[in-house]
Amino acid sequence: MTGPFGVYIHIPFCRHRCDYCAFATWTDRDHLIDDYLDALRLDIERAALAPVSSVFIGGGTPTRVPADDLAKVLAAVPLSPGAEVTVECNPDDVTTAMMQTYAAAGVNRISLGVQSMVPSVLAALGRTHVPANVERAVAAIREAGIATFNVDIIYGGSGESLDDWQATLQGVLALRPPHVSAYALTIEPGTPLAEDPSRHPDDDDLADKYELADDLLAAAGLANYEVSNWAAPGHECRHNVLYWQQGNYLGFGSAAHSHLDGHRWWNVRTPERYLDAVRAGESTEAAGETLDDETRRLEGLQLALRMSDGVPAEALDADELDGLVVTDGQRVRLTRRGRLLANEVSHRLR
């Protein structure tokens, strides 16, 4: 197998569950942390991986577990020279000592879950951190010498005005991040947010906030390289690019997903079932599917459309999508208005 190869490691533990979250996370399973990390290490060792080009440790809240123990899990993953290694972090948990431990373990990229820099908006999202902790966390990342970091923010929270969103963008940009991910708030079934229609976002408001984000982030030197992601040159997230390019990766941990050459599968959802499977030496897979060639081709175009490189000219009729795409004769790319309507444009792919 040639080309980039990634590893995703899922940490399912959280102190508090945000109102919009539908991920496989638990706030009452901390007693499983030690055993779970042991199982992760064993599972990774059994996989006998060749050196990988990227690792992404997500969750949940990876900073919920002891940094030294997380470093031992990462040590089980063989890394290619120059591999990108990212850990998602809750700003409240970050300390200089934690970041130094991560850096010594090979972590060279942090993704901070900031969401907003406005306290009332954070409260509406069910977040518990305060903006001052974001500034402290960024200082700790830099002090530890970690090469790059991302700031994750969300727009469209209940009661968030355009001025609030601008304050978040300006507060984030004051930290001089080399990468920003800005996501529209989405309603996931079964979440507290889904059960309260009065808190659901408005499409026109989301569009206004996306355009403001694009203006301010571009002015700060961060280029939009995927619909929801902006980065300084050389700071794009290589692990996420691997996903968008239909690359191969293995997922470890409960509910983690994997993909190999058109076959994808996902692990059992709960940490208890994952632990039991690893201890028994059994497969951790819950289910999977193999894509036929046409489905894989079309999904590949849908993912590529989200990227700044776009899709081959023959994949879309640019004349039918005036204002939504631009073409140079070889590639078709989304305009900013097209990015707002990316899902609709993707239905025109052929």
191, 221, 243 — which closes off a domain? 243
Can you spell out the DSSP letters for 231-300? E-TT-S-HHHHHHHTT-EEEEESTT-EEEETTEEEEE-SSHHHHHHHHHTT---EEEEEE--HHHHHHHH
Kindly report each contact of residues 94-99 with a partner whose C-beta sits within 8 Å and lies 24 or more positions away, as own/partner: 94/63, 94/133, 94/136, 94/137, 94/140, 94/141, 95/140, 96/140, 96/143, 96/144, 97/67, 98/63, 98/67, 98/140, 99/140, 99/141, 99/143, 99/144, 99/146
If asked whether residues 114 and 222 sit together in one domain, one would say yes
Give me the chain's average pLDDT, please. Answer: 94
If asked whether residues 10 and 101 sit together in one domain, one would say yes
Q: For the full predicted model, state whether its pTM sits above 0.85.
A: yes
Q: What is the CATH number of the domain that holds 176?
A: 3.20.20.70
pLDDT in tens, 271-311: 999 999 999 999 999 999 999 999 999 999 999 999 999 99
Min mean pLDDT across 2-6, 59-63, 205-209, 239-243 is at 2-6
Tally of structural domains, the chain: 2
Mean pLDDT of 181-205: 80
Nearest to 212, CA basis, from 230, 239, 200: 230
Percent with pLDDT over 70 in the chain? 96
Q: Phi and psi (nearest 5°) for 263?
A: -105, 130
pLDDT(327) > 80:
yes
Mean pLDDT of 217-244: 98
Percent with pLDDT over 90 in the chain? 85
193, 213, 243 — which closes off a domain? 243
pLDDT in tens, 41-78: 999 999 999 999 999 999 999 999 999 999 999 999 99
What pLDDT shows up at residue 1?
56
If asked whether residues 231 and 325 sit together in one domain, one would say no
Q: Is position 254 within any domain?
A: no
* Residue 160: domain span: 5-243
